[in-house]
Amino acid sequence: MVTRFAPSPTGYLHLGHVYSALMCQKAAGEKGRLLLRFEDIDHTRVRDQYYDAIIEDLEWLGVTFTEKPWRQKDRYEEYQLALEKLKKQDVVYPCFCTRKELALENPLSAPHGDDAFLYAGKCKALSDQKRESKIESEIPYSWRLDASKANLVAGALTFHDAIRGQLDVQPFLLGDVILARKDIQTSYHIAVVVDDAAQGVSHITRGEDLLGSTHIHRLLQKLLGYKEPQYFHHRLILDKDGKRLAKRDASLSIKTLREQDKTSEEIISMVLPLEP
């Protein structure tokens, strides 16, 4: 049993992270290994001070890890190799759309990043010639998963979630997601799948907001020849308005709560009970 806690060093931990870290610790139990991995590929949002602050808060809460933490920003080469494998299988395509074009295409979607809506597939329809000429003119591009080709190559898949049981993979759930962003040449989806396999993670414990992504991750695991992990998508800690906590809610950051002299027991009790 190997599980992991994978925060992004883009802010201080909040109560939602405390719950997730405690669930990971519980999943690892006495005999399992609990790994810490910093998901820091997005250099535009990562700040140096958060790495140590996160470790310090976790130690203070009594959550300790068996090995030295991994940093995804040291692992771009591995992510590139995985992308090359997908290119060879012809299950990805370059996308030249700008943010502005994507926003026009989806006027109703909030600007939460490239994956917030289903991509209509404009660049998938480009002829080989058009594609080549855009690449030659050095127009920046990202790489998208071709969900229909990926589905054909991978075949029908399932995954197992501890709460929901066996689920069928829905390859089209998130559309043709971005697998390599223009600016960082990789993505959350690639990095997480490559690292979970490389670290031998057998049980992935994380929030249920990532359930949709798991459909993509299973597909990528199959295409890349990785083992299938087990999943536990746990509940989310919500604020008083029923919204999921975000790093901008500074009032519920562990740092703020500690400054108010809350003890670790008091903070932990704010997120209890843990799921069975």
Q: 76 or 141: whose CB is closer to ligand GLU?
A: 76
Taking each helix axis as running N to C, give the angle between helix 188-198 and helix 211-224, from 0 to 180 degrees, rounded to the nearest 10.
60
| Cα–Cα distance measured from residue 32 to residue 3, given in angstroms and rounded to the nearest whole number | 8
Q: 123 or 237: whose CB is closer to ligand GLU?
A: 237
Q: 184 or 210: whose CB is closer to ligand GLU?
A: 210
Contact in structure between 99 and 224 (CB atoms under 8 Å): no
Instruction: Name the token pair of 132.
Output: 């080549």
CB of 200 to ligand GLU, least distance (A): 15
CB of 214 to ligand GLU, least distance (A): 9
Instruction: Name the token pair of 226.
Output: 């990785």
Cis peptide before 140 (omega within 30 of 0): no
Q: 96 or 231: whose CB is closer to ligand GLU?
A: 231
CB of 221 to ligand GLU, least distance (A): 13
Q: 142 or 214: whose CB is closer to ligand GLU?
A: 214
At a CB cut-off of 8 Å and minimum separation 6, what does 70 contact?
35, 36, 37, 38, 195, 199
| Cα–Cα distance measured from residue 193 to residue 215, given in angstroms and rounded to the nearest whole number | 12
Instruction: Name the token pair of 259.
Output: 């400054």
Contact in structure between 80 and 185 (CB atoms under 8 Å): yes
CB of 4 to ligand GLU, least distance (A): 7
Q: 14 or 182: whose CB is closer to ligand GLU?
A: 14
| Cα–Cα distance measured from residue 11 to residue 177, given in angstroms and rounded to the nearest whole number | 25
CB of 210 to ligand GLU, least distance (A): 6
CB of 136 to ligand GLU, least distance (A): 36
Torsion of CA 255, 259, 263, 264, to 10 degrees: 10
CB of 104 to ligand GLU, least distance (A): 29
Q: 6 or 97: whose CB is closer to ligand GLU?
A: 6
Residue number with the shortest CB distance to ligand GLU? Answer: 206
| Cα–Cα distance measured from residue 203 to residue 106, given in angstroms and rounded to the nearest whole number | 36
The site for ligand GLU (CB under 6 A) is made up of: 6-8, 39, 192, 206, 210
| Cα–Cα distance measured from residue 199 to residue 194, given in angstroms and rounded to the nearest whole number | 9
